[in-house]
Chain A
Amino acid sequence: MPEISIQQSPVPLLQVSGLSLSVGERTLINDIDCVLKKGCRTVVLGPNGAGKSIFLRLLCGLMEPDVGSILWQGQAINSAVRRCLAMVFQHPVLLRRSVAANLNFALGNAGLGAVARRQRVAEGLHLARLQALASQPARLLSGGEQQRLALARALITRPTVLLLDEPTASLDPASVQAVEAIIESAHSQGIKIIFVTHDVGQVRRLADEVLFIHRGTITEQTSVAQFLSSPGSQVASDYLAGRLVL
């Protein structure tokens, strides 16, 4: 795995400042500041309920923060920028349509002609290795196939950032490998990857940078090598050691 130094990636793609979100009395995200740069693959780690998925949803614009801002290359995020972000969920949301129609649906906003759309759909089918199942109902695919389809659907929109919320949770090893191959391929094309996982092995295989979140706050942002060899907090050490973190 190529080790990308965070300091060597000078362009801040996303700049998060003072991000907070509360629901009722409960603070879910608490004054998060961070800079996410192009090039490196960022994994968001933390114990259950730490706020990882909510942080991802805030980045994608699926939720609005109470206070704070997210800047895209120094600019406020608008609908044009949102089209540069794609998100894949732990449980893929597939339309009640065929595999090919699911891919085609994602291109609704791409402003492409019929030929270009067909090409992108073919590209998506190839990426997900689902050419033979193109006309099959998407919801009858296996879990791994569904997740590959969801990933391909996100990628054919040509995003700049791909956000993945535990994309391989509850998948068998072969499916995990296939999904990771697609993520790797996206990374090799220059797409910024930000993902949530609980799988430390996957962190080693896929990530360059770790954002460690505990109780809605980023307690650590460092390289994977640094984080795994000498985590910067007791909570992170406990998490890596598999101890329960409350």
Chain B
Amino acid sequence: MPGFTETFGLALQLIFSGSRDLVEIVMLSLQVSISAVLLGCLVGLPLGAWLVVGKFPGRTLLQVLINAFMGLPPVVIGLVVYLALSHSGPFGVLDLLYSATAMVIAQMLLVTPLVAALARQHLDDLYLEYRNLFASLNLSSWQIARALLWDARYSLLTVSLAGFGRAIAEVGAVMIVGGNINHLTRVMTTTIALETSKGDLGLALALGIILISLSVTVNAAVMGLRSSARRLAYA
């Protein structure tokens, strides 16, 4: 087995050579995770706002459930999506199992409760600050939710970033519903798991470095944006 320095050198060589396989895996990972986060935000952000301004029976129970779902193990989500999409499952006719779409669905289910729960916390704080103004302007719940979502936009960017972090780093769910098929559903995390088990540590480490770099870059960009927004008192 090669030493750390040798493996690290190999990993850098793979990264800088622009290996087609590597690029394909990275692009598919980004495509799946970004799609999942966008869809998760599309559902999770309004859901978080609805939990703040909505008045309906069972609201507290729903909050508890969403909070609990934040910590759901990815393999459980993967199993549920697998059962739903398998030929004997309710959505088997769609023939989505072992496709990138199935991976997006699984990651979206992972991300949505996290986005909804974190958004609710941010929006709740903002609502406390704004509630007198909203009440004095006699606004509807819909108008209040829209205003909260817009005014918390920079905080919600951090929330979506947390969702992206959960999606891009997860391996269990995409492994189950995607099957880790070469050139079709192989993403960074599943490749790292596979290549490590095969002993091909160079590729695994290259993907690990890319994964960490992506995470740092996205975090830095969002932090920069938030800090500019804070300077302008918009965050």
Residues of A in contact with B (beta carbons under 8 Å apart): 60-62, 79, 82-83, 85-87, 89, 93, 95-97, 105-106, 108-109, 137-140, 154, 157
Is there an interface contact between B233 and A139, defined as CB atoms closer than 8 Å? yes
B218 at the interface (CB under 8 A from A): no
Told that A61-B138, A93-B132, A138-B233 touch, could you supply 5 new A-B pairs with CB distance under 8 A?
A: A61-B135, A62-B136, A108-B137, A139-B234, A140-B232
- B234 contacts which of A97, A105, A106, A154 (Cβ < 8 Å)? A97
Residues of A contacting B38 in the complex (Cβ-Cβ under 8 angstroms): none
| Chain B binding surface, main DSSP class | helix
List chain B residues, Cβ under 8 A from A86. Answer: 136
Q: Is B151 engaged at the interface, CB distance under 8 Å to the other chain? A: yes
Q: When each residue 109-141 of chain B gets 1 if its CB lies under 8 Å from chain A and 0 otherwise, what string results?
A: 000000000000000000001101101111100
Residue of B147, B151, B234 ringed by the most chain A CB atoms within 10 A: B234
The answer to the question of B143 belonging to the interface, with a C-beta cut-off of 8 Å to chain A, is yes
B residues engaging A (CB < 8 A)? 129-130, 132-133, 135-139, 143, 147, 150-151, 232-235
Of the candidates B132, B138, B139, B150, the one whose C-beta lies within 8 Å of that of A89 is B132
Distance (whole angstroms) from the CB of B176 to the closest CB of chain A: 42
Chain B residues whose CB sits within 8 angstroms of the CB of A138 once the complex forms: 233
A108 touching B139, Cβ below 8 Å: yes
Q: A137-B233, A140-B232 are in contact. Are A95 and B136 (CB under 8 A)?
A: no
- Min CB distance A138 to B, Å, is 8
Contact (Cβ within 8 A) B147 A105: yes
Are B235 and A96 neighbours in the complex by a CB distance under 8 Å?
Answer: yes
A106-B137 CB under 8 A given contacts A96-B235, A139-B233: yes
With both chains docked as a complex, state the minimum distance between the C-beta of B11 and any C-beta of chain A, in angstroms.
43
Question: Total A-B residue pairs with C-beta atoms closer than 8 Å?
Answer: 51
How far apart are B57's CB and chain A's nearest CB, in angstroms?
A: 20
Determine the distance from Cα of A79 to Cα of B140 in the docked complex, in whole angstroms: 10
Q: Which residues of A contact B143 (CB under 8 A)?
A: 108-109
Query: Beyond A139-B233, A140-B233, is A109–B136 a contact (Cβ under 8 Å)?
Result: no
How far, in whole Å, are A140 and B232 apart by their CA atoms in the complex? 7
Measured CA separation A109–B133 after assembly (Å) = 13
State whether B233 touches A62 (Cβ < 8 A): no
Top 5 A-B pairs ranked by shortest CB distance?
A: A139-B233, A93-B133, A87-B136, A82-B138, A96-B151
CB distance from B134 to the nearest CB of A (A): 9
> In the complex the two chains form, what is the Cα distance from A60 to B136 in whole Å?
7
Point out which of A86, A108, A140 has the most chain B C-beta atoms below 10 A from its C-beta: A108
Query: Is B233 in contact with A109, judged by CB distance below 8 angstroms?
Result: no
Residues of B within 8 A of A60 (CB): 135-136
Q: Is the CB of B138 within 8 A of A79?
A: yes
Question: Which B residues touch A85, using CB under 8 A?
Answer: 136
26 residue pairs A–B, Cβ–Cβ below 8 Å: A61-B138, A62-B132, A62-B135, A62-B136, A85-B136, A87-B136, A93-B132, A93-B133, A95-B130, A95-B133, A95-B147, A95-B151, A96-B151, A96-B233, A96-B234, A96-B235, A97-B151, A97-B234, A105-B137, A108-B139, A109-B137, A109-B143, A138-B233, A140-B232, A140-B233, A154-B136
Q: Which chain A residues lie closer than 8 Å to B151 at the CB level?
A: 95-97
